Structure 1
Amino acid sequence: MRKIIVTEFITLDGVVEAPGGNETLHPHGGWQFNYNAPETGQYKVDELASVDTLLLGKNTYELFAGYWPSQTGGGFADRINRYPKYVVSHSLQKAEWNNSHILRDVAKDVAALKKTNGGDILVYGSATLVKALLHHDLVDELRLMVFPLSIGGGLRLFEDNRVLKKFELKYSRTINNGVLILEYWKREH
């Protein structure tokens, strides 16, 4: 069975909103840009190379589809444009980015996708989708790039719903700029 791997930029206070700056109107949007390092860029290229499918929420899909189709080259642009992309949305009517498909039901459609042939499936950002995936126990790995700052509020992955989810540390690395890369496996109960 294919694994679903969630990858997130996250602050010390657990915020995943607007790391790139223009995703929402968050007053501290773009918070991850002051921590660019060759190691983090290479990690993201290697991460993408380790999978063969993307799973995205509607907002992340629309942001990516507005940028990546016009990009070429490197270990990232060609790959992200070529890979199959599944977007989970109740309202999206068309998914025109190359090799894109719409899924409607997280529990049913994503569970079925995991049972298909192929490599692992990577979820970028897509906080609302990730919350639903966590709720339905569909996340196999969490990859968190933790940035050494607090922005005082915003969208978080882990809400105060008091549901216990256990993960085991698989890999950790500290980058010289203070960023932590943490990879966790889902722990079976």
Structure 2
Amino acid sequence: MEHVSLDGVIQHENGEGFVHGDWTTPYRSPAGLEAVMEAQGDVFDLLLGRRTYDLWTGYWPNAGGSPIGKSINAATKYVATHRPDSLEWGPVGNLGADVIEGIRSVKSTDGPDLIVWGSSTLTSVLLNHGLADEVVLMVYPVLLGRGKRFFSDTADPRELAFVSTKTTPTGVLINTYRHVGALPKPV
């Protein structure tokens, strides 16, 4: 699941020349929150890159009063990191030294859905290894021009099949796609 501008930017924090932090705020609405909650469900686990985990640790543990905050705080956080001993916000699950095998192991259990928020580097890896079942993009009616993109220029081309879309009153499109695989080569 990812918040994305029309030109593919997902970055939300200022820094590294990016000055448009928190660009999603004017487009938030109760209908949008309801659609996000419906897309992720009430019970899920999280797969996060270390940077996203560290950023979220500064916010979500103190935002447990909202329905989304309660769900995020209750979720087991599986973090792709070389420093698992320093993970304090839990519950936390260990992916092990081989992140791909760790994710395969988590996905093979009968646990709740595993959702990735943010963690753009991890998203490309999941798609490249066939470990992403769906991609949910919340597309905002803005062009940001620069910033971290949903996929890097080095990501493998992928094919996605359209599943559904919802529109919020503020113009955000919540598009769901099923991962198909590598983009077929033209004949």
Could you say whether these structures have the same fold, taking a TM-score greater than 0.5 normalized by the shorter chain as the test? Answer: yes
TM-score range with shorter-chain normalisation? 0.7 to 0.9
Q: CA RMSD for the aligned pairs?
A: 2.1
Equivalent of residue 25 in structure 2, options 13, 30, 33:
33
| 2:45/2:115 contact within 8 Å kept | yes
Q: CA deviation at 1:101?
A: 2.6
Aligned equivalent of 1:133:
126
Aligned equivalent of 1:168:
161
Q: Measure, in 2, the Cα distance between the counterparts of 1:24 and 1:54.
A: 27
Q: Measure, in 1, the Cα distance between the counterparts of 2:158 and 2:19.
A: 31
- Structure 1 residue 16 corresponds to structure 2 residue 33: no
Query: Which 5+ residue runs of structure 1 have no aligned equivalent?
Result: 1-6
User: CA distance change for structure 1 residues 72 and 162 in 2, over 3 Å: closer, same or farther?
Assistant: closer
Q: CA deviation at 1:93?
A: 3.4
Q: Measure, in 2, the Cα distance between the counterparts of 1:22 and 1:93.
A: 28
Q: CA deviation at 1:24?
A: 6.5
Give TM-score scaled by structure 1 length. Answer: 0.85
Q: What amino acid maps onto 1:175 in structure 2?
A: T
Q: CA deviation at 1:188?
A: 5.4
Equivalent of residue 156 in structure 1, options 143, 149, 164:
149
Equivalent of residue 116 in structure 1, options 97, 109, 114:
109
Q: Measure, in 2, the Cα distance between the counterparts of 1:162 and 1:108.
A: 20
| Equivalent pairs, count | 181
Give TM-score scaled by structure 2 length. Answer: 0.86
User: CA distance change for structure 1 residues 130 and 143 in 2, over 3 Å: closer, same or farther?
Assistant: same
Equivalent of residue 93 in structure 1, options 78, 85, 89:
85
Structure 1 residues 128-137 or 177-186, which shifts more?
128-137
Q: CA deviation at 1:55?
A: 0.7
- Structure 1 residue 42 corresponds to structure 2 residue 40: no
Query: Which 5+ residue runs of structure 2 have no aligned equivalent?
Result: 183-187
User: CA distance change for structure 1 residues 91 and 22 in 2, over 3 Å: closer, same or farther?
Assistant: farther
Q: Measure, in 2, the Cα distance between the counterparts of 1:173 and 1:48.
A: 14
Aligned equivalent of 1:4:
none
- Work out the percentage of aligned pairs sharing the same amino acid: 36
SS at match of 1:76: helix
Q: What amino acid maps onto 2:79 in structure 1?
A: V
Q: Deviations over 1:7-37 (max 9, x none)?
A: 000011111111xx45876211111111111
Structure 1 stretches of 4+ with a deviation exceeding 4 A read 22-25
